[in-house]
Structure 1
Amino acid sequence: MKYQRNTTLVSTFLIILVVFLCYSTSVLAHEVEVEDEREFDYSESSEKGPRHWGELKKEWHACKTGKLQSPIDMTSDRVEVFQKSEDLQMMYKPAQSIIKNRGHDISLQWPNKDAGSIKINGTEYFLQQAHWHSPSEHTINGTRYALELHMVHQSNDPNVKNNIVVVGLLYDFGSPNHFLSLLVGNISTMIDQIHEKPMGVIDPSLIERGCNKFYKYIGSLTVPPCTEGVTWIINRQTASVSKEQVHAIREAVHDYAEENARPLQRLNKRKIELYDPQAQPIKFKRLF
């Protein structure tokens, strides 16, 4: 009888542990971004379009009620310019990767979370994945670009309030992008399917991140659940991408996401900082 009671206790404990781990993993996934999600789209006329994201699920309410939503327009007269940058370090390294068609975008992921990190004022945020939006979601002085890359990082420190950092890179049409050239062959074979492929070792430091001039502001994820408190770092210098590369990315995702850019969101008196070592400090104007 004593043995049976011990066995029952152990079995009960294991069941509780499995449920807890599954729940924790689910919460973390929803906090960062949806995966393989077909319950929203990008059509303004659709009942599942951006205007209705916050009504589709209760955990997506921030998409409708949030005050710190992304993307935004980095208009010059809203920006405060600084010569001295924050203590920002990017420390990436080669690691095993997979490429995944999530339906609403193409995502390059480092499953072991060992591809390096970005450190801001001493806090380290580890690279999770990178994905693309076409056309760009963020704009500069009203200009929308051909493509936008998001490199998503997350801190493991439970005491960090804003634990997600996204590094954004804008692309102009021009010569083929070297980093995308490494991936586009695999992307082209994933047309209209949600699946993944091993990519072997990929070094994220090969992504052309431009110069040390960048915008910084506090916003949100640009897809459901539109989690707020995301630190955005947008490179001011653009990269180059060919029309064929953008076409390959658009063709691979589902039809509803061929143009997968969320509309611009209100600034709501947020502060936008531009770090430019060569510029003179300029105070920004709050428009709304």
Structure 2
Amino acid sequence: MGLTLGALLLAAWATRTAYASCAHGTFLSPRAEDGTVEVGKFGYTGTIGPLNWAALDSPANGACATGTRQSPIDMVDGVFELLQGSDVELTVNDMPEGAEFENLGTTVEVITQGGSLKVGDKQFELQQFHFHLPSEHLDNGTSQAMEMHMVFQSEAQEIAVIGTYINIADTSAAAPSKRSRVFGRQEAKPPATGAVAATTLLETIFSVVDKIAVPGTKTTTPPLVMSEVVDVLKANAFQIYSGSLTTPPCSEGVSWHVSTARLGITPATFVKARDVIGFNARFPQNKPGEPNLLMVSALGSAAAAVAAIAGAGAGAAA
């Protein structure tokens, strides 16, 4: 087992690879100074997928295989604390001239033009928001159509992320769902099967997603009015926990705020986004504080191999 796991953790490329990730635009993965869009060198399937992220850049990505507070997770009772949106100071500037919208190869990302998140005495500045398909976090065991991640950074280089589920909109729904009353888990948000209306912001952004179908390209969105989403987030609640980036280098200490709100996207727009984004969700990790699933898997595989060898030896001796 030791050799197998060691090979996974010590395999490395000769030079440090640039990653386009949830931390893109932050101190962990700053943007290129010349304005070019850096395409990620990791992926979500095969040898560049999550099972092998730790080996793509060792030891930088070691937490992907050894960390014990990894994200995403299944949002079930006992793994998070509930914080009402009214207790959070959240602002995001409108972008009347539109915003840069780029294809990182691993996701599509909107570069924001100002915004902040203040929780308690900590303030974070909004860097960008991007999308995963399907959702990375599970809602009590259930995957959602998509998930939006708004990435914030503090002066102390701490990272906070707001995660918001995106469902397929009921085209007959005339308005967003009403404010939730947060008295407990079951009333914190509408059921996953509840109807949601299309979110204007998402429809606006993805109206031009076909213009960045090729990784490494960028365009400018139409004008973006952020208040719709901000109002929805503040009218609901956040499920908060300490986790990690969901992409390499899987750094821990990330303050996650998974919203109980639901955004919506029409079926046609979802197909349009899907055809560009593809599949880009890391598999759910263990509960915070529990052993890394890759470590558990390595130990289990080693034990099974030893048992198989012992069984074969006993059979030959007989």
Using structure 2 for the length normalisation, give the TM-score: 0.65
Query: Which residue identity does 2:100 align to in structure 1?
Result: I
Which residue, 28, 32, 47 being the options, matches 1:31?
28
Deviation at 1:90, TM superposition (A): 0.4
In the alignment, what sits opposite 2:141?
A: 142
Distance in 1 separating the partners of 2:64 and 2:76: 23
In the alignment, what sits opposite 1:23?
A: none
Deviation at 1:193, TM superposition (A): 3.2
CA contact (8 A) 1:33 1:224 kept: no
In the alignment, what sits opposite 1:242?
A: 266
3-state SS of the aligned residue for 1:52?
A: helix
Distance in 2 separating the partners of 1:86 and 1:182: 27
In the alignment, what sits opposite 2:75?
A: 74
In the alignment, what sits opposite 1:63?
A: 64
Q: 1:252/1:30 Cα in 2 relative to 1: closer, same or farther (>3 Å)?
A: farther
1:24-45 CA distances to partner (integer Å, 9 max, x unpaired)?
xx997561589733421111xx
1:144-172 CA distances to partner (integer Å, 9 max, x unpaired)?
0001000001012x3x7xx1110111022
Query: Which residue identity does 1:31 align to in structure 2?
Result: L
Off by >4 Å, runs of 4+ in structure 1:
26-30, 32-35, 77-82, 84-87
CA contact (8 A) 2:203 2:265 kept: no
Q: Pick the structure with more strand per residue.
A: 1
Q: How does 1:187-266 map to 2 (within 5 A)?
A: 187-199=209-221, 202-207=224-229, 209-210=232-233, 211-253=235-277, 258-266=278-286
- Give 5+ residue unaligned stretches, structure 1: 1-25, 271-288
CA contact (8 A) 1:33 1:225 kept: no
Distance in 2 separating the partners of 1:129 and 1:252: 19
Q: Percent identity?
A: 29
In the alignment, what sits opposite 1:6?
A: none
3-state SS of the aligned residue for 2:48?
A: coil
Query: Which residue identity does 2:160 align to in structure 1?
Result: V
| 1:102 has 2:124 as partner | no
In the alignment, what sits opposite 1:89?
A: 89
Q: 1:142/1:267 Cα in 2 relative to 1: closer, same or farther (>3 Å)?
A: same
Distance in 2 separating the partners of 1:182 and 1:268: 36
Deviation at 1:79, TM superposition (A): 4.7
Distance in 2 separating the partners of 1:106 and 1:187: 8
Distance in 1 separating the partners of 2:164 and 2:201: 13
Query: Which residue identity does 2:130 align to in structure 1?
Result: H
Using structure 1 for the length normalisation, give the TM-score: 0.72
Which residue, 166, 173, 185 being the options, matches 1:171?
166
CA contact (8 A) 1:86 1:121 kept: no
Distance in 2 separating the partners of 1:259 and 1:207: 24
1:105-161 CA distances to partner (integer Å, 9 max, x unpaired)?
110012xxx4220111122111110101010000111010001000001012x3x7x
Deviation at 1:207, TM superposition (A): 2.4
Distance in 1 separating the partners of 2:243 and 2:137: 11
Tell me the C-alpha RMSD between the 2 structures: 2.7
Aligned residues: 231
Query: Which residue identity does 1:220 align to in structure 2?
Result: S
3-state SS of the aligned residue for 1:182?
A: helix
